[in-house]
């Protein structure tokens, strides 16, 4: 798929903003950001405030933010303020995974991109680093439901560095790590030997590899380039202990939410938003604040890694 900037004349399904085009031309590092957190993860007007805050953090770190979304049938890599506002406020804004991109572009639809779609579009646009909150993964009860996020298969075929706070803690974390291993997705703990728990500093699951600074991440990226591996590099960056959700509260609310989902027969795509909403309500918003702390930390780390790549 050809790629053009807004000022270009070559037709394409992917359009990079002028800011992103300028950054790539000048050698300024670029950090990809997802848009689902804006449209579906936060209430108005805070969603727009957070979107602008995250972009500001990237710029303050000397890089260019590239928030990714689909607008009117075009995959946009980099959004201006009016486009961010559309994502935050437009009614009926769709949630698009990789499987949804082709019909969305064909029908000139608009929607926010999930981890799978953002990863794919970022890599196709030539970006190297993507910051998000938590990845999708294997759902609890997989043996009977066979339910797992499309994120995993996409990461297996997308050579991108993804900075995250682990996978959402509502999922089956050990099973997800096993799937990532099977899919040859490398996971690095950032200053930790334990896989982060999204809202929590640690899930308690051990990791095989650790790095302690952005240069360590970039060293692994460069060796992977030499090996020409095709899967993603996941940099698991835990939320600070003092910023995490209280673990006792987390476990109690999650257990209640899982029981409610079972009782109400919540399945499939409805399950994750049901559980996340239950976590927010059951913790009086504390889970949301922990999530945002993790996202901010991931954006800062991704920006530092992208900058180190230019050295």
Show Cβ contacts of residue 115 under 8 Å, excluding neighbours closer than 6 positions: 34, 36, 132, 135, 136, 149, 151, 154, 162
- Per DSSP, 10 falls in state S
* Per-residue pLDDT at 148: 82
Could you tell me which of 136, 70, 61 has the C-alpha nearest to residue 107?
70
* Number of helical H runs and strand E runs in the chain: 13, 12
26-40, 142-156, 217-231: segment of lowest average pLDDT: 142-156
- Do the domains 135-311 and 1-127 match in fold? yes
Structural domain boundaries in the chain: 1-127, 135-311
- d(C-alpha 220, C-alpha 111), whole Å: 34
pTM of the model: 0.93
Give the CATH superfamily of 1-127.
Answer: Indigoidine synthase domain (3.40.1790.10)
pLDDT at 1 (0 to 100): 37
Active site residues: 34, 168
Phi, psi of 246 (to 5 degrees): -55, 120
CATH superfamily of 135-311: Indigoidine synthase domain (3.40.1790.10)
pLDDT tens across 52-69, in order? 999 999 999 999 999 999
Query: Is-cis flag, bond preceding 37, omega within 30?
Result: no
Q: How far apart are CA 170 and CA 178, in angstroms?
A: 16
108/72 Cα distance (integer angstroms): 5
């Amino acid at each position: 798929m050809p790629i053009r900037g807004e000022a270009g004349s070559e037709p394409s399904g992917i359009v990079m903003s002028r800011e992103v085009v300028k950054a790539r031309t000048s050698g300024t590092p670029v950090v990809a950001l997802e848009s689902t957190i804006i449209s579906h993860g936060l209430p108005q007007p805070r969603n727009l405030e957070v979107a602008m805050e995250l972009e500001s953090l990237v710029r303050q770190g000397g890089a260019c933010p590239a928030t990714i979304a689909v607008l009117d049938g075009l995959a946009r890599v980099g959004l201006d303020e009016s486009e961010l506002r559309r994502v935050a406020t437009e009614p009926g804004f769709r949630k698009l995974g990789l499987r949804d991109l082709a019909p969305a572009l064909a029908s000139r639809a608009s929607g926010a991109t999930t981890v799978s779609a953002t990863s794919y579009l970022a890599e196709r646009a030539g970006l190297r680093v993507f910051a998000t909150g938590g990845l999708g993964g294997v759902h609890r009860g997989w043996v009977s439901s066979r339910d797992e996020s499309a994120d995993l298969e996409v990461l297996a075929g997308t050579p991108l560095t993804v900075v995250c706070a682990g996978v959402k803690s509502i999922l089956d974390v050990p099973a997800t790590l096993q799937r990532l291993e099977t899919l040859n997705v490398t996971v690095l703990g950032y200053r930790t030997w334990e896989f982060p728990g999204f809202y929590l500093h640690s899930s308690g699951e051990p990791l095989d590899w650790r790095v302690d600074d952005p240069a360590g991440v970039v060293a692994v990226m460069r060796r992977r380039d030499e090996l020409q591996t095709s899967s993603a590099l996941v940099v698991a960056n835990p939320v600070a202990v003092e910023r995490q959700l209280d673990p006792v509260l987390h476990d109690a609310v999650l257990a209640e939410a899982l029981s409610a989902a079972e009782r109400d027969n919540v399945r499939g795509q409805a399950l994750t938003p049901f559980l996340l909403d239950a976590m927010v309500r059951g913790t009086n918003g504390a889970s949301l604040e922990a999530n945002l702390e993790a996202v901010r930390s991931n954006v800062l780390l991704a920006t530092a890694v992208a900058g180190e790549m230019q050295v």
